[in-house]
Structure 1
Amino acid sequence: MPTNYKRKSNRQSWTAQQLEQAIKAVKSGSPVKTAARSYAIPRSTLIRHLTSSTVSTRLGPIDSVFNSQQEEELVKHLLDLEKKFYGITMTNVRKLAFDLAEKNGLPHPFNKSTKIAGKAWLSNFLKRNPKLSFRKPEATSAARARGFNKPAVSAFYDLLEEALKDPKLTPDRVLNADETSVCTVPPKKSKVAALKGKKQLGGITSAERGETATAVMCMSATEQHRPPFFIFLRMRMHEALKKGASRGSKFACNASGYMTVEIFNEWFDHFLEHVKPSEDSPALLIIDGHSSHTKNLAFTEKARANFVKVLVLPPHTSNKLQPLDVSFMASFKTYYAQEVERFLQQNPGIVVSQYDVAELMKPAFIKAATTEIAENGFEKTGIWPFDRNIFSDDDFAPATVTDQPDPEVLREEETFRLHLEGAPSQSTVNRISCEDKEVQVLPEDIMADFAEPDSISTANNPVFEISPSIILPLPKKVTPRENAKQKRQLT
């Protein structure tokens, strides 16, 4: 079957609705010729359908393996897998299609020796379901998938809502701070003009890996962006490192180039210098849970003394809840990479070093520090304007893979199950009733658990007898108790 079939005639240019209307007109007394002309249907076609009991609009001898309802269920299952970060590849989709056809007893032209559907089927399947596509996923750690869950996020919004009740907290006093790495060899490269079909393209860089520094950014829910704070990987500060930096920037250095408790206290002094919180104009600072922030008594006491409320994000949620990560950092790093490329093109033979970082960061910071980016970051996280329902159930879907039930709920369910096991069966109840003896009738909701399959409504049954979720179940981590059982069985 051709992948991109092109019709060679204009046969069946009418729709099923036109055909039904023409048949209805003839049955109402209209001549066949007149009805055929009125609804643009060939007369022979109309006569053929008048003598048959069905209305068919299919061309050709080949049927689709799955009907539209079955394909809709398959698409839904594929999207559910993707929502949980366990999406499957093209090859696995083709294998799943073969298993579905085989286990449901559907006639199909798939290769039974390789046990996989053909590429032509997949291509046509995607055309029939345009909302489905194959994309390269972004790598997301299991900790992030597990950490962004409803209880943790709800607890954060509870604290945020309580803090925002203070009428003195205006949008310009709600701030977010975060660190990011700045390398002399940015990981992003812009596209360049090159010969089409060339296998490998080269682009000049300063080194194989480059030197890394840390920049601390801070922005409010309005357009206000505070000057950056730099941390360099060196033991002594040199004035040349400050060349070309943004006005108001501060600098520090240490043996790791990363944030420490001591340097974070220096940054907080820098923060107080520019924000100037007071009793009449307090500030709310939202930060992540890095140890230099949370295990820092001096910072906590200084924040309390200077009318700064501190709100810490839940672990592994900064990619969703931190405004700087949501809107600012990606744009800033793109602009910084462009500045590095421009520098290398304008200075052939010269490489970017630590002494050029602050100067190259300045234009990138100015481009990224816009009102739109700041407002979008706080709005998309539901911080300002406050919206605790900004995230849907689909956003929390990856966390459900590792959700574990409450042990207390499990104990209650186990007690209820044992109670039901001692209850009389349906047949026993009927027999006792026939003998006119006193019986104990179970509640209707409990009796429903004992109902026969035939008595259950089939309105919600899947269109497949064996659904995709049975062949390829949605991922779910087993409970620790089940793991222990498995270990005992192995031994």
Structure 2
Amino acid sequence: MGVNEASRQFGIPGATLRRRRKNGDLVKRQLGPASILGSINESKLVAHIRKLQQCGFAPTRSMVRSMAFDLAEKLKLKYNFNRESRKAGYPWLESFLRRNKELAIRKSEGVSAARALGMNRKDVASYFSLLENTLTEHDLMNKPGSVFNMDETGLQLNNTPEHVVAIKGSKNVAAVTSSEKGETISIIACCNAEGAFIPPVCIFKGKNKKAEFEDGMPPGAAVFMGDKSAYVTKELFLRWLKEQFVPRKPVGKVLLLLDGHSSH
């Protein structure tokens, strides 16, 4: 096939074909600027996103931008990402999606909606198949002491006033509670399949931790402070993982089961 015929058939300018043929330049390249992370690192990022989705934790656009920034920092690459927000920009995300056609922006199904609709046979079978394969692959099927489950729950600090014995005819009978409206705290609990518990962690809203917050807590338990709320954040969850779970887990591989909360 001649150059002119190839130009007509494939819609490529004839001058481009002649120049590339003359220079022996036969390597296909992406249009636009080169990737900041590089093609190899981007393929690893795509593989990581695919793995997260398979486990039910497909990342948001904001999370992917944070992943790109963290990866560039770890590899000490030159980048123009925002250091203050510690995220890659939206233009980078758009280019990343254009270069990796297997990825797309999809509307996810919230956990609450899934619970409202109820589980189905396919979801249940998929979950237990993944669980069985994971236990078998890592030789944990007969090691219940190495299979953990964690979750967090909210508790009200103040108690509900109860019926009390008082003087007959009294107009105002007060019962002291810990607060007026009732402050909510979060508790992270974790145990393994043998029933052994990791000491719990309580999360209070505020910056300054008081010593009395830990009064009466089990040995090894801890109090974390949340700047904006008493909810679990990804920073507090990572801290719990490093300071409470890892030092107390058995030697070797373990399996940690948890739900799809955004902080996880």
* TM-score bracket relative to the smaller structure: 0.3 to 0.5
By relative contact order (CA 8 Å, sep 6+), the higher-ranking structure is 1
Higher normalized strand content (fraction of residues): 2
What TM-score, normalized to structure 1? 0.27
What TM-score, normalized to structure 2? 0.48
Higher normalized helix content (fraction of residues): 1
